[in-house]
């Protein structure tokens, strides 16, 4: 534990979130009482923030705001729920339970797969919240710590093919998730009618601390050569190192993160720093040490600078690393070699080493709903009814039907086709494109993302086709604001919302997800963006060397300067 005298603790007035966490009685606040307040569809005072630690965000439909205001109605308050699914794996039985709530019980009726391998319900009304948590709990699912200043849903490469290492790595993702969870019984008490404990003062949070973390914290387990989880978006990543199909340990990466504020040079995306290799017996101790070091040294006065990436820049990478070694009672050895080659999912069927088959379904922006032309939600239910394996949610917002025995393969494929879950027309460009939720539900959105993506991708597809590059793709991502939830700041072309129909355009990330892109167009209209991309794609088609990716091309040709140390050169 550090003390106030520790020179590495940022002095100053604590942010208001610190007060509310301290006064929350271990995340209880008055959420329970608030549930009975039917004067509002939302939560009052501090509870608005505290419900996030329980996996919920208060929202309203921004498309309807102006009209309701005209009618002198308050915004239609509702809740978004984000579940906790370490590694994104669930059983068909769980899928059926999830589905049974989404339909009639939510305003939007969808199951939304997220960029962090879980699902969200949008538009749950307050009176339905408790029933929702109880239904999920019965299915073995909770939403503890999927938001708020805690360690969030732990990612794990959703690779069902090299299944021996996958299984071992996935077990670690689950263990890390459990180890770093808040210990408070608040969730069980409020949502599951769990017994109230005698004195919350006695409840301890040995890892997260009474005031929890200074800011959200994200962890991933990755199995090279895939980088589907985008390690550089995470505060802490474990890179699986294996020998003869047996996991031997992990390289540890610390301090990645993507969010920034437009024009604020004190905020920037950052690649994670390599700390070195650890053996398996040290995983939990190192995870805990990274979290507690960030807990004690992270900036609690300025939330914009509170994430691990800023702590690392402020105290120095070596200082942070040595503190982790001290706390974990270990030393990192030199990192083991590994290479990332791709980030996308392998859409379609692949055969695993266990003679089982795995079908990756491309889900446009992760939105599972019965659309007029394709009943995706019903299709998933029909598959779940007969599927003996499991489902895997990917960090690219897709869904894997994993572990299908050979004799069920045709039947599952037929259902998927009948419901529009498989399409012959799916280009590699669409597979490699991604958007965050944005409007209408996200309160922070500045421009469209999910709703603009299909049209934007069609334009990019046409440009590729006109240049004889139909089999090629560009990692193309749209985020509705600079928080970058679709990881646009690790894309080869990243659009980041600036205002209605206006985006900043970042170029020069690479296909492996190991380079931050650079600002190329500021506050550009959709038209300007597309005409600029048209010119650049043409140049790329003519001047590329071998199979050079678009991001590598724009950096080599100095169309944008390479971002090497983003703390210094991202904004220049």
For residue 451 the two structure tokens come to 């709703």
**CB of 86 vs ligand SF4, minimal distance in Å:** 21
Rule CB under 6 A: is residue 260 a binding residue for ligand SF4?
no
- Gap between the Cα atoms of 462 and 431, Å rounded: 15
According to DSSP, the residues that pair with 277 across neighbouring strands are 251, 333
Phi, psi dihedrals of residue 468, rounded to the nearest 5°: 65, 30
Chain position carrying tokens 């659309």 = 371
The catalytically annotated residue of 21, 28, 52, 82 is 82
- Taking the complex as a whole, how short is the minimal distance between the CB of residue 216 and ligand SRM, in angstroms? 6
Region from 337-345, 372-380, 441-449, 535-543 binding ligand SRM, contact rule CB under 6 A: 441-449
Which residue, 271, 265, 260, 252, is CA-closest to 309? 271
Q: Which of 215, 218, 300, 518 is catalytic?
A: 218
Q: In b/e form, how buried is each residue of 206-236, taking b as 16+ CB within 10 angstroms?
A: ebbbebbbbbbbbbbbbbbebbbbbbbbbbb
Partner interacting with residue 149 (select from ligand SRM, ligand SF4, none; CB below 5-8 Å by kind): none
The binder of ligand SRM chosen from 186, 231, 241, 436 (CB under 6 A): 436
Q: Which of residues 224-263 bind ligand SRM (CB under 6 A)?
A: 230, 233, 257-259
Closer to ligand SF4 by Cβ: residue 260 or 368: 260
Number of residues that bind ligand SRM (CB under 6 A): 33
Is residue 270 exposed (0-12), middle (13-18) or buried (19+ Cβ within 10 Å)? buried
Nearer to ligand SRM, 352 or 480 (CB): 480
456 makes contact with ligand SF4 (CB under 6 A): no
Cα–Cα distance between 294 and 305 in angstroms, integer? 12
With CB under 6 A as the contact rule, the residue among 479, 510, 512, 566 that binds ligand SF4 is: 479
For 490, phi and psi rounded to 5 degrees?
Answer: -130, 15
User: Which of 384, 437, 489, 536 is the binder for ligand SF4 (CB under 6 A)?
Assistant: 437
Pairing mode, strands 476-479 and 493-499: parallel
| Residue 122: CB minimum distance to ligand SF4, A | 11
Per CB under 6 A, does 438 bind ligand SF4? yes
Catalytic: which of 28, 126, 477, 481? Answer: 481
CA dihedral (186, 188, 193, 195) positive or negative = negative
Other C-beta atoms within 10 Å of 277: how many?
18
Q: Minimum Å distance from CB 160 to ligand SF4?
A: 28
Q: Which residues within the stretch 357-416 sit at the binding site for ligand SRM (CB under 6 A)?
A: 366, 397
Annotated active-site residue 417? The verdict is no
Q: Is 218 in the site for ligand SRM (CB under 6 A)?
A: yes
Calpha distance 477→467 (Å, rounded): 21
Q: Is 377 a catalytic residue?
A: no
**In sequence order, what E strands does 144-269 have?**
155-156, 219-222, 236-243, 246-254
Residues forming the site for ligand SF4 (CB under 6 A): 436-438, 442, 444-445, 449, 479-481, 483-485
Residues forming the site for ligand SRM (CB under 6 A): 57, 59, 80, 82, 114-116, 118, 120, 146, 152-153, 216, 218, 230, 233, 257-259, 307, 366, 397, 436-437, 441-444, 483-487
């Amino acid at each position: 534990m550090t003390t106030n005298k520790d020179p590495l603790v940022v002095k100053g007035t604590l942010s208001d979130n610190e007060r509310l966490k301290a006064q929350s009685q271990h995340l209880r606040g008055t959420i329970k009482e608030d549930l009975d307040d039917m004067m509002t569809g939302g939560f009052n005072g501090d509870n608005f923030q505290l419900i996030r630690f329980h996996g919920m965000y208060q929202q309203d439909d921004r498309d309807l705001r102006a009209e309701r205001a005209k009618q002198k109605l308050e915004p239609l308050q509702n809740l978004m729920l984000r579940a906790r699914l370490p590694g994104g794996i669930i059983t068909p039985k769980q899928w059926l339970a999830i589905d049974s709530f989404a339909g009639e019980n939510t305003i939007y009726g969808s199951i939304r797969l997220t960029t962090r391998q879980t699902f969200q319900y949008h538009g749950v009304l307050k009176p339905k919240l408790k029933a929702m948590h109880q239904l999920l709990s019965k299915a073995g699912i909770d939403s503890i710590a999927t938001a708020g200043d805690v360690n969030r849903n732990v990612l794990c490469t959703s690779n069902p093919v090299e299944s021996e290492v996958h299984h071992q790595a996935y077990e670690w993702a689950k263990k890390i998730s459990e180890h770093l969870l808040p210990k408070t019984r608040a969730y069980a008490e409020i949502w599951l009618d769990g017994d109230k404990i005698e004195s919350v003062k006695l409840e301890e949070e040995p890892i997260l601390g009474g005031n929890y973390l200074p800011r959200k914290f994200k962890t991933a387990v990755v199995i090279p050569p895939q980088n589907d989880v985008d390690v550089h978006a995470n505060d802490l990543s474990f890179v699986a190192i294996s020998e003869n199909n047996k996991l031997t340990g992990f390289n540890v990466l610390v301090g990645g993160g993507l969010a920034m504020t437009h024009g604020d040079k004190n905020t920037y995306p950052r690649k994670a720093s390599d700390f070195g290799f650890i053996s398996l017996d040290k995983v939990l101790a190192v995870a805990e040490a990274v979290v507690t070091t960030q807990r004690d040294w992270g900036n609690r006065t300025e939330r914009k600078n509170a994430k691990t990436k800023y702590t690392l820049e402020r105290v120095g990478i070596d200082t942070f690393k040595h503190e982790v070694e001290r706390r974990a009672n270990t030393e990192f050895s030199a990192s083991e070699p590994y290479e990332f080659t791709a980030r996308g999912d392998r859409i379609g069927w692949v055969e695993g080493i266990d003679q089982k088959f795995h079908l990756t379904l491309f889900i446009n922006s992760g939105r599972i709903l019965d659309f007029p032309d394709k009943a995706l939600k019903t299709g998933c239910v029909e598959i779940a009814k007969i599927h003996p394996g499991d489902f895997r949610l990917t960090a690219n917002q897709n869904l894997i039907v994993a572990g299908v025995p050979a004799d069920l393969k045709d039947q599952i494929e037929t259902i998927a086709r009948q419901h529009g879950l498989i399409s012959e027309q799916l280009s590699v460009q669409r597979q490699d494109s991604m958007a965050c939720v944005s409007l209408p539900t996200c309160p922070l959105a500045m421009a469209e993302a999910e709703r603009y993506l299909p049209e934007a991708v069609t334009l990019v597809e046409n440009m590729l086709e006109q240049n004889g590059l139909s089999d090629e793709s560009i990692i193309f991502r749209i985020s509705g604001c600079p928080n970058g939830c679709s990881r646009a700041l690790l894309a080869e072309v990243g659009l980041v919302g600036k205002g209605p129909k206006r985006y900043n355009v970042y170029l020069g990330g690479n296909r492996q997800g190991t380079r931050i892109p650079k600002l190329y167009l500021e506050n550009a209209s959709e038209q300007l963006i597309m005409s600029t991309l048209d010119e650049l794609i043409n140049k790329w088609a003519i001047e590329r060397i071998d199979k050079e990716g678009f991001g590598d091309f724009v950096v080599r040709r100095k169309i944008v300067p390479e971002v090497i140390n983003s703390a210094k050169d991202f904004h220049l």
